């Protein structure tokens, strides 16, 4: 599907489907919807609204199969005008595109939000592009009967000069962002039969769009990353340390983004029960976000230096697996007593964060499907955020909100680390069930000396069993949008 914008009236653009909108309760359409209504003999006001009782409730779609010659008309409900926002533009565009999915048509849409609602054309067009890309997303490579989404073109119509300029830039950013999100979804949905550290690293080399170096077991050992190696040692697939680098000439800042890259988490010898293990191919969602964000950054080219780091391995039970009660000396020299082999993400991240800090970056952000406790706390709606720097944490939450993702700050007081006290080592990798997301945060904080750091726990939001408001099930690609936005704003 091609997404583009034209500086013309919606009526002048050659297309098979015209998409306009209505706020809840509106009986006489204004703006572009009003123009379209008049052009087609008041079909919206007299027929769709009056006769068909279309009320404009959010997300409702009215399809008129023939409005003139061979053109279709679609009216979408925007809901209450005082509740309208950018995320809703994304959700409803996804819905419209999904509903047209199997036709090979050309669609022209009004720039939702930039008219009477008065939202910024940049943001509106960005959300439309992201929504359209979510609307055509499906993961059906292993299905014989493919649900073919073959919509040909999605065109945004905006005739006003000033709005057009802004919308065009927004649309371009939205396309790059949306494509990154879909790539992350593909990586996460992929079977762990084919996606393991080596193939993940190969993917990064081919698709990150930036200089990518992959280190194998020997080099990982030479770097003293014993914690990472301990988690990896139970699998037949050797670990890979992936380091991606994007450098802008006039970089103002140096950032590292670190993604949890457990390509499958069986729990290790502390084996997970079947129901919990079922979706654990998603335990590399952080890594997927980091790779696809690097690619988007390489296209958008912000004035920063970004290092993407992934310690990729599997967490498997076997004769060579690390064991409960083992003590491991992490890269920083800090010793870890393994209390539970299923708390493996933090053990690999301990070394990955230390590696990132050695690069001398100004700040570090990690993104990880880290704790079931975070999912218990926040459900599948918001992701957890913690960190050692209040200002940056707040800045991230704000950037995420603008990008249309929800992050909720969890506490990271020292006391949450009390359960991690060990008799034989500097720390245990886990304590009890209570406050588990915060305990994991405190654990990670001990492996960073003094670099400002943000920790994102996406355990509850990375992979959904139920379809969300954007029409997405399974891998969501959460974090990609926020990271791109945050990095662009630094
Ligand atoms: N990958 C899991 C966390 C997870 C849970 C992600 C559910 C997505 C959905 C992590 O490695 C894990 O197993 N955490 C344990 C830690 C516990 C043993 C302290 C957990 O949360 O149960
Ligand atoms: Mn685990
Ligand atoms: Zn895990």
DSSP string, 465-485: SS--TTS--EE--TTHHHHHH
197 Cα–ligand 1 center, Å: 19
What are the per-10-residue average pLDDT scores of the chain (490 residues)? 97 96 97 96 97 97 87 96 97 96 90 94 98 96 84 96 98 98 98 98 98 98 98 98 97 98 99 98 99 98 98 98 98 98 98 98 99 98 98 98 98 97 98 95 98 98 97 98 96
Nearest-angstrom CA–CA distance, 365 and 255: 8
Cβ(326)–Cβ(238) below 8 Å: no
Structure tokens at 398: 């704000």
Cβ–ligand 1 distance for 457 under 6 Å, the answer no
Tell the residue nearest (CA) to atom 17 of ligand 1: 343
Cβ–ligand 1 distance for 91 under 6 Å, the answer no
Residue 148: per-residue pLDDT: 72
Tell me the angle at which helices 197-207 and 161-189 cross, rounded to the nearest 10 degrees. 160
- Annotated catalytic residue 334: no
Cβ–ligand 1 distance for 430 under 6 Å, the answer yes
Which residue among the candidates 346, 392, 481, 485 is catalytic per the annotation?
346
Report the chain's mean pLDDT, rounded to a whole number: 97
Residue 104: per-residue pLDDT: 86
* CB-CB neighbours of 415 under 10 Å: 12
Structure tokens at 229: 């190696």
Unique residue bearing structure tokens 């927004």 = 170
Half-sphere exposure (CA, 13 Å, Cβ side) for 150? 7
219 Cα–ligand 3 center, Å: 24
Residue 66: per-residue pLDDT: 81
Q: How far is CA 468 from the centre of its chain?
A: 13
Residue 401: per-residue pLDDT: 98
Residue 330: per-residue pLDDT: 98
* CB-CB neighbours of 213 under 10 Å: 13
CA distances from 91 to 64, 110, 159, 176, 418 (A): 21, 15, 24, 18, 43
Tell the residue nearest (CA) to atom 16 of ligand 1: 343
From 356, 372, 375, select the one nearest 453 (Cα to Cα): 356
From 308, 353, 333, 330, select the one nearest 231 (Cα to Cα): 330
- Annotated catalytic residue 346: yes
Provide CB contacts within 8 A for 85, sequence distance 6+: 119
From 162, 137, 75, 82, select the one nearest 112 (Cα to Cα): 75
What residues have their beta carbon closer than 5 A to ion ligand 3?
A: 262, 265, 283, 345
Q: What is the dihedral of CA 146, 149, 150, 152, to 10 degrees?
A: -170
Which residue among the candidates 71, 253, 272, 401 is catalytic per the annotation?
272
Provide CB contacts within 8 A for 102, sequence distance 6+: 147, 148, 149, 150
Cβ(386)–Cβ(409) below 8 Å: yes
Beta strand 153-157 with 211-215 is: unpaired
Residue 68: per-residue pLDDT: 81
Cβ–ligand 1 distance for 59 under 6 Å, the answer no
Cβ–ligand 1 distance for 369 under 6 Å, the answer yes
338 Cα–ligand 1 center, Å: 15
Nearest-angstrom CA–CA distance, 417 and 435: 10
């Amino acid at each position: 599907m091609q997404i583009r914008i034209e500086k013309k009236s919606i009526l002048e653009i050659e297309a098979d489907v015209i998409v306009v909108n209505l706020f809840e309760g509106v009986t006489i359409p204004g703006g572009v919807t009003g123009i379209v209504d008049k052009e087609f003999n008041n079909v919206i006001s007299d027929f769709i609204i009056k006769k068909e009782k279309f009320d404009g409730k959010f997300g409702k779609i009215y399809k008129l199969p023939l409005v003139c010659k061979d053109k279709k008309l679609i009216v979408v409900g925007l809901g209450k005008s005082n509740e309208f926002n950018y995320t809703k533009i994304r959700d409803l565009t996804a819905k419209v595109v999904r509903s047209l999915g199997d036709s090979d048509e050309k669609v022209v849409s009004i720039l939702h939000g930039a008219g009477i609602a008065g939202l910024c054309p940049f943001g509106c067009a960005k959300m439309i592009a992201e929504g359209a890309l979510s609307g055509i997303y499906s993961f059906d490579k292993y299905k014989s009967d493919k649900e073919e989404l073959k919509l040909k073109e999605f065109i945004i119509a905006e005739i006003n000069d000033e709005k057009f300029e802004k919308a065009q830039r927004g649309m371009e950013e939205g396309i790059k962002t949306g494509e990154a999100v879909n790539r992350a979804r593909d990586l996460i949905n992929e079977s762990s039969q084919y996606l393991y550290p080596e193939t993940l690293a190969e993917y990064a080399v081919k698709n990150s769009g930036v200089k990518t170096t992959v280190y194998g077991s020997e080099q990982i050992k030479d770097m003293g990353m014993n914690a990472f190696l301990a988690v990896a040692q139970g699998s037949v697939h050797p670990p890979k340390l992936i380091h991606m680098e994007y450098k802008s000439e006039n970089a103002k800042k140096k950032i590292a983004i670190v993604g949890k890259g457990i390509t499958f988490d069986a729990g290790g010898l502390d084996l997970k029960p079947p129901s919990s293990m079922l979706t654990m191919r998603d335990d590399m969602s952080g890594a997927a976000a980091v790779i696809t964000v690097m690619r988007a950054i390489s296209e958008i080219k912000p004035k920063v230096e970004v290092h993407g780091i992934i310690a990729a391995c599997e967490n498997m039970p076997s004769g060579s697996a690390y064991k409960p009660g083992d003590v491991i000396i992490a890269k920083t020299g800090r010793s870890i007593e393994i209390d539970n082999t299923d708390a493996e993400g933090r053990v690999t991240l301990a070394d990955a964060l230390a590696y990132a800090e050695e690069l001398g970056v100004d700040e570090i952000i990690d993104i990880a499907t880290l704790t079931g406790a975070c999912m218990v706390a926040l459900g599948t709606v918001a992701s957890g955020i913690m960190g050692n720097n209040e200002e940056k944490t707040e800045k991230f939450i704000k950037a995420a909100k603008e990008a249309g993702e929800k992050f909720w700050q969890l506490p990271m007081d020292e006391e949450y680390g009390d359960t991690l006290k060990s008799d034989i080592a500097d720390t245990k990798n886990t304590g009890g069930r209570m406050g588990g997301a915060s305990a994991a945060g405190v654990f990670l904080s001990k492996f960073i000396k003094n670099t400002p750091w943000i920790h994102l726990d996406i355990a509850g939001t990375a992979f959904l069993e139920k379809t969300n408001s954007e029409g997405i099930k399974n891998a969501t690609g959460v974090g990609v949008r926020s990271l791109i936005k945050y990095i662009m704003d630094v």
